[in-house]
Chains A and B, each alone.
Chain A
């Protein structure tokens, strides 16, 4: 983001056409109602599932004393992971000065906000006593990584929301006169949220400074949120979790999941909103390259994570690794590693597979694999505690998620999709003023 803004772009005729393109889908359409209705009904069913769990206790899940963290925790890690991409794209790449991230930055922020917000809910779904959530603040022990996690997830959510909202302010001001087709309420919302933005250079100066602070601050916060999430496992003594590279291992994995999520959302927006002009094949190509890069880094950490203990085969680690490589979890493990990592890396090295549609398909596979990867990290370790599991019902030794549990997990995903849909449908998904400014500068250069 430039340190100064030339407000000439407001006079440029191109602003009108850009704004028209981007604002065209804003508002309530029939497709939107159908889609939201579909999500809403699904969500209701899932809320009912949660009611069952709330009423009967966690007995309705497949969790028991030995495997006491399952789908919910895996899902939580997945949500936190995916939300990290906001930091990677708008902050790291933006600050370095990559211009191509401009139209994508807001999409990445939407994902960050939605997934970070729901991550908090996901963790509540795993609690045996959800009504005691306030205790976390009332009696918080700052030695517990859970308290660190609560702190950083909240901070990250606020930062991401601000980072989504601040660059949106000028757009809201530009848009508020141009969305006559949208409902009145939305127009009023634009009016309020645009905080009397009048494109003065002083306002731009304040805005740029504030955004710059956020961009810098969000980097350590995002590192913290996923590192701390990895510590929920790494601070224990269990083989499979007791690893010193868990922080970076989780972080790089997060970038893979997040980038894939961004590609998916980009593609959906591009196709549905007909924004090919702004989300071009070039952007997909670049995102493909980014995905390859982060995937390779993640693969590197995977090799470290499995090869080193696999070389030594210490008693407890050996049981765990055998279970992953050739045992009960082998199918899922190899699917995740191959389909989610190795094959996508190979494919995306070729330009053909970085084209929008193929990248979209690859990203879906990567994202699904990313979810199962979290499952592989969370569940199998608990299958092999140090002391043998004896004299308990057989069902306790094998974790099988129940329907209720799956429905609640699905519900959290639906909720995230609902938040994304609302943000994508009611607000400009591509920063109008930044694109217009860029165009204006380009025009000037040509004129000169």
Chain B
């Protein structure tokens, strides 16, 4: 079991408060690959030759892309070219042999909104820009209200992808619908087509446009975000590639989220890290999909909000209050 905990025990960037830990931010956004690359290329830039002319020094000062000077052992410096094309290729191909699926247990959601802040932190979004949003739902007048986290449904018949004129948004073999903001022309047809209101548009310069400038574009993280293009929930495909659960899933304190692979018939709870049979979880709890009548075939399942362990308490709107 220790193996399992370790795997998920590595940095949990989604839980970090924004901007408090620049080193972590840097690694999380860039990936180790990019970090080594930046260190490597920066080394050349900031006097690698000079250092080399002085034998006996085994530490080299290098400038990282977040403007810190750090010392790195000379023998650990590698010239890695930031392979933008590789990020694009692997991002468009997706992970072979998987069909990712999310299960959201509405009985447990008490609107802690930790999923939202983790996601916004990871993807450099403003407080009112949602890849995932928790909605207050009430089916009809006399039914009980409940909280419903709503990410992109990553439909198997995605209406948004069907209308894209330039292949900027696409569905991968593992079921994830991604957006390539280097391709997007900003026509917003996908926003019109999505019945789940899952997509958003960068009407202005994105939150961290300035500091993200020059980073190699990671299509699986959609950073740097770009003005005039679409962004949306990515099922944290950068994390999935490393075998980690999505940002929102691991940030939830209430055990709302399960995430897993339909091919393996297994989903893992983001809070307890306990793994369950997907088919059984859906069968026992009467799982359902959002608006299945539209034929979009979502990859997100919901478990109905029954036997809630807490009282429904509608809070004041965090965004409306401040804006």
Seen from chain A, the residues whose Cβ lies within 8 Å of a Cβ on chain B are 56-59, 61, 63-66, 68-69, 123, 126-129, 132-133, 135-136, 138-141, 143-147, 150, 232-233, 235-238, 241, 382, 385-395
Contacts and interface: CB of A to CB of B under 8 A. Distances in A.
Given A57-B228, A392-B319, A69 B201 contact: no
Contacts of B168: 139
Nearest to B140: A315
Interface in B159-194: 159, 162-168, 183-189, 191-193
A127 B192 contact: no
A135 B227 contact: no
A289 B93 CA distance: 60
B258 to A, nearest CB: 21
B242 interface: no
B229 A386 contact: no
A128 B202 contact: yes
Given A145-B163, A237-B159, A238-B192, A385 B228 contact: no
Contact of A143 (B162, B186, B187): B162
Contacts of B204: 56-57, 59
Contact of B186 (A127, A387, A388, A390): A127
Interface string B270-300: 0000000000000000000001001010000
B166 A136 contact: yes
Contacts of A393: 128, 319-320, 323
B203 interface: yes
Nearest to B116: A391
B159 A236 contact: yes
Nearest to A147: B165
Interface residues of B, number: 47
A387 B135 contact: yes
B41 interface: no
A391 B185 contact: no
A391 B150 CA distance: 12
B183 A390 contact: no
18 contacts: A58-B203, A59-B204, A65-B200, A68-B188, A127-B185, A128-B228, A129-B228, A132-B186, A139-B166, A144-B189, A233-B192, A235-B193, A382-B192, A385-B197, A386-B196, A387-B196, A387-B197, A390-B317
A128 B200 CA distance: 12
Interface of B: 128, 130, 133-137, 150, 159, 162-168, 183-189, 191-193, 195-197, 199-205, 227-229, 291, 294, 296, 317-320, 323
Contacts of A144: 162-165, 189
Which DSSP category, helix, strand, loop or mixed, fits chain B's interface? loop
B226 to A, nearest CB: 8
A146 B317 contact: no
A388 B184 CA distance: 26
B261 to A, nearest CB: 27
Contacts of B163: 144-146, 235-236
Nearest to B199: A65
A135 B183 contact: yes
B162 A146 contact: no
Contacts of A65: 191, 197, 199-201
Contacts of A236: 159, 163, 192-193, 195
B323 A128 contact: no
A187 B201 CA distance: 51
Contacts of B317: 390-391
B193 A66 contact: no
A72 to B, nearest CB: 10
Contacts of B196: 386-387
A237 B194 CA distance: 8
Contacts of B165: 136, 140-141, 144, 146-147, 150
Contacts of B318: 391
A255 B244 CA distance: 58
A56 B227 CA distance: 9
B82 to A, nearest CB: 23
